[in-house]
Structure formats: C-alpha cells, structure tokens
C-alpha cells in the first residue's frame, strides 16, 4: 500500500520542519489525504515520492507559519521524541556522552529556522539530492547550498564543544 | 582555487557529491594538502552521522489504518462504484451493438444487391474501352475511335477484336513509330491477346508497350 511504503519518510520530512512527532504524524496523515484527493493532478515530471514529500513539506511549513516561525516547542515533547535511541542498560561513559551530544544537537536544531532545519535533515537524514530538496521546498539549488552551509557550521560548533568537554 | 575560504564553502557539496567534476578535483587536491580543511570535512561527516542517530522515528503502528479511516468518508460508496462500472459497461455495449448492426447491414446489402452490382459493373466493362496513355489524363476513348487512328493501328485493333473484344486497350499513338515498329508491336500485341484469351491469364492484365509508349489494359470478356 502506498501509505505503508512512504509513511516513514513522509513523517520524517514533516518532522524535519516542525520538529515534533505528534505534529509530524498529524501532518503526515494530512499529506496522504491530500495526495489521495489530488492524485489526478499528479504529473510524472517528478517522482511520486518527491511529490509526497513536497506536500508534506508545504503542509509543515504552513503549519509552522501558523504557529509562528520561532515558536518554542511545547514542553519537552520534541526532545523526548528525538531522543528515542536504542540504548543499552546501564549508564556507561559513552552513553552519557552520546546523550549529551543528542541533547545539544536537539537544542541546536531547535534554534535553527524551520527552513535551515528542513534542508539539513532532508540532506543528512533522508539523503536527498540538492535538486530534490529544492523541488520539495520549492527554492533554488543555490539557496539549498547556502542554507546547508549555514546549518552545518552552526551544528558543527556544537559537536566541537562536546568533543572539548 | 587555493583559498581555504573558497574551499570551505564547497566542502559540504563536495562531501555530498554535488559539485562539478572540475570543482570536485580542485577541492580534493586542496583537502589533501590542507589540515584545517580536512578536519572541517571530517566534522561535517561526523555531524551527518550524529544527525542520523538523533533523528529517529518510532514504529508507526496503526498509521496506515488511521489514514485509511480518514479517507473512508471520501471514498465512493460501493453502490455508486457498481453503478459507475455498469454505466461504463453499458457504453461499451452500445459501441459493440452499433458496430454489429453496421456489419450486418453491410453483409445483407452485399447479399441482396450483389448480383445487380456485379451485373452493372460487367455491363460497364463491356461497353467501355479502358484506354489511357501513360501519364495522360484524358478520358478513355472507345475502341472504334482508336480504329481510325491509322492503318497499323486499325490492324492491331482488328486483331484485338478477333480476340472476342477482350482487349480494351490503348490510346495507341503510333504516328511517330516507323512501320517496322508498328508491325512488330501489332504482332506482339496479337500474340499476347491470344495467349490471354486462351484462359491462362489473370482476370485483368496491364503492361507497357515501350515501342508505342502505351499502357495496355486487358479485361476479360464478361459475356
């Protein structure tokens, strides 16, 4: 089924923008509903997956605009969801360091604008090309490059600080 | 390109494989010889690994069912879908029915009017001398008219007539052909017509007579 095939990536695309699992799930459901309603308008200029991600990204960006561009995430939900890592029992030094890194990365991701966060997560987590990202977020390739450069440098600083500590 | 500043801008796209081949080469050469840029590239790679480990989506149990539930009210009811299917079948049946009626009408017409049509065509063939010169657009002329075209031609047409009028032929313009040529052409024509009349021939024969620059059409006697 189409939903089962693309659900994870659609949720992650939405999450890349809204940075909250509950909102991302809601937006992902809405994405499939919109896709179903507009299937007749789908043109094979882009792949079906890109079309779905674009719907998800547009819905998420609209959602963010409605909520306010830099709204602080509600409570700790965002961090809780993003920290769902497979962890071993015990509290080893490595695990502590990893948790600290995750917390800092989450904090840094939250501080990015939705556009910067979406670009770096679509690239690093989803592995999409610059053209695909530009297609989904409807911005030029040069904008994708500059946003990526900015986001990487911001997050790189976090990593270096953790290494120093 | 030697500036670290320029290379730093391209390190991300370099790692992503999004640069042009010549830029990839330039950055690669620079990184090999520059420790700081090499370290920055390694940081970018480590960042990618860290992000992939941080951003995880939990199992999406019941997500598909939730989407299906939301789509359910939008779906066309089964009854309406059956009605649509039935209508489409009905349209197809109409087309098939029309084609069948048309085919049956054509067959009946042929059966009923066939002999009359054949008779009409035969009658027309008997009374019409099909003759045309190669490349000419003038209408066919009757055999009688051809017969008056000259002694050689008249001879030819008499011979044709002797073959039971099977030859409906020839705007035979022999005016510019020498006598020997006329005689040979007439002789050959007679031979061909005799052979055709003997029954070893197709229903219609067409050939060119190069000596007289003529296309000859032979139609069998329908009587």
Q: What digits encode the pLDDT tens for the residues B9-28?
A: 999 999 999 999 999 999 99
Q: What percent of chain A shows pLDDT beyond 70? A: 81
Q: Which residues neighbour B204 within 8 Å (Cβ) at sequence distance 6 or greater? A: B217, B218, B219, B220
Nearest to B52 among A15, A109, A125 (CB): A125
Dist. CA B63–CA B68, nearest whole Å: 9
More confident residue, A160 or A147: A147
Q: With beta carbons under 8 A apart, name residues in chain B contacting A145.
A: 12-13, 18
- Judge whether residue B102 has pLDDT over 60: yes
Of A122-136, B65-79, B151-165, B194-208, the one with minimum mean pLDDT is: B151-165
Is the ipTM above a cut-off of 0.85? no
Is A102–B54 a contact, with Cβ atoms under 8 angstroms apart? yes
In this prediction the pTM is 0.54
The full 3-state SS of chain A, as one line of letters, equals CHHHHHHHHHHHHHHHHHCCHHHHHHHHHHHHHHHHHCHHHCCCCCCHHHHHHHHHHHHHHHHHHHHCCCCCCCCCHHHHHHCCCCCCCCCCHHHHHHHHHHHHHHHHHHHCCHHHHHHHHHHHCCCCCHHHHHHHHCCCHHHHHHHHHHHHHHHHHHHHHHHHC
Is any Cβ of chain A less than 8 angstroms from the Cβ of B4? no
Q: What pLDDT, on the 0 to 100 scale, is given for residue B124? A: 59
Rounded to 5°, the CA angle B189-B195-B199 comes to: 140
Give chain A positions within 8 Å (CB) of B68.
Answer: 3
Q: What pLDDT is stored for residue A97 in this prediction?
A: 72
| Predicted pLDDT at B207 | 75
Contacting residues of B for A84, CB less than 8 Å apart: 56, 58
Q: Tokens in use for A87?
A: 């962890």
pLDDT at B77: 53
3-state class of B206 per DSSP? strand
Q: Tens of pLDDT along B45-55?
A: 989 988 888 87
User: Nearest CA to CA, how far is A32 from chain B (Å)?
Assistant: 7
Q: What integer pLDDT is reported at residue B127 of this predicted model?
A: 52
Best A125, A134, A162 member to test B by mutation, with max B CBs in 10 Å, is: A125
Output phi, psi for B101, to 5 deg.
-65, -40
Highest mean pLDDT among B46-50, B82-86, B144-148, B167-171: B46-50
Is the minimum CB–CB distance between B200 and chain A shorter than 8 Å?
no
B158 pLDDT exceeds 80?
Answer: no
CATH label, A2-73+91-164, candidates 3.30.1160.10, 3.40.50.720, 1.10.287.130, 1.20.140.160: 1.20.140.160
Could you give the angle at which helices B21-33 and B35-54 cross, rounded to 10 degrees?
110
Q: Please give the distance of CA B77 from its chain centroid, rounded to a whole number.
A: 44
Q: Which residue of B has its CA nearest to A128?
A: B16
pLDDT at B105 over 60: yes
Residue B157 confidence class, pLDDT cut points 50, 70, 90: very low
Give contacts of A121 with chain B, Cβ < 8 Å: 51, 55
Using CA atoms, how far apart are residues A147 and A116, in angstroms rounded to an integer?
A: 6
B126-145 residues touching A, CB cutoff 8 A? none
**B47 chain-A contacts, CB cut-off 8 A:** 124, 152, 155-156, 159
> Domain boundaries in chain B?
4-54, 76-127, 130-218
Query: pLDDT tens digit string along A68-111?
Result: 644 444 434 444 344 443 444 445 666 777 778 788 888 888 88
């Amino acid at each position: 089924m189409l939903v089962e095939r693309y659900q994870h990536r659609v949720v992650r695309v939405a999450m890349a923008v809204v940075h909250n699992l509950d909102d991302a799930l809601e937006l992902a459901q809405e994405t499939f509903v919109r896709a179903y309603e507009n299937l007749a308008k789908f043109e094979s200029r882009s792949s079906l997956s890109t079309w779905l991600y674009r719907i998800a990204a547009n819905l998420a960006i609209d959602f963010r605009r409605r909520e306010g561009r830099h709204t602080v995430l509600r409570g700790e939900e965002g961090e809780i969801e993003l920290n769902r890592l497979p962890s071993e029992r015990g509290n080893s030094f490595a695990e502590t360091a990893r948790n600290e890194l995750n917390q800092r990365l989450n904090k840094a991701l939250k501080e990015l604008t939705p556009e910067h966060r979406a670009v770096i997560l679509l690239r690093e987590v989803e592995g999409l090309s610059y053209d695909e990202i530009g297609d989904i977020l409807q911005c030029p390739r040069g904008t994708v490059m500059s946003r990526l450069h900015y986001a990487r440098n911001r997050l790189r600083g976090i990593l270096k600080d953790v290494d120093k500590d | 390109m030697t500036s670290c500043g320029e290379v730093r801008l391209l390190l991300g796209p370099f790692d992503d494989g999004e640069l042009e081949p010549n830029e990839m080469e330039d950055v690669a050469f620079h990184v090999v010889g520059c420790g700081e840029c090499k370290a920055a590239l390694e940081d970018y790679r480590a960042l990618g690994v860290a992000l992939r480990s941080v951003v995880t989506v939990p199992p999406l149990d019941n997500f598909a069912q939730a989407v299906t539930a939301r789509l359910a009210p939008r779906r066309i009811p089964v009854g309406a879908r059956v009605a649509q299917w039935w209508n489409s079948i009905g349209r197809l049946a109409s087309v098939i029915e029309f084609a069948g009626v048309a085919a049956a009408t054509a067959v009946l017409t042929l059966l009923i009017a066939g002999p009359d049509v054949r008779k009409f065509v035969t009658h027309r063939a008997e009374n019409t001398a099909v003759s045309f010169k190669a490349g000419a657009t003038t209408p066919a002329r009757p055999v009688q008219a051809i017969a008056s075209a000259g002694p050689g031609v008249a001879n030819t047409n008499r011979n044709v007539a002797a073959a039971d009028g099977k030859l409906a032929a020839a705007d035979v313009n022999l005016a510019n052909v020498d006598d020997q040529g006329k005689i040979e052409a007439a002789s050959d024509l007679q031979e061909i017509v005799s052979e055709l009349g003997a029954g070893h021939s197709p229903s219609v024969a067409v050939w060119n007579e190069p000596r007289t620059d003529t296309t000859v059409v032979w139609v069998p006697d329908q009587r």
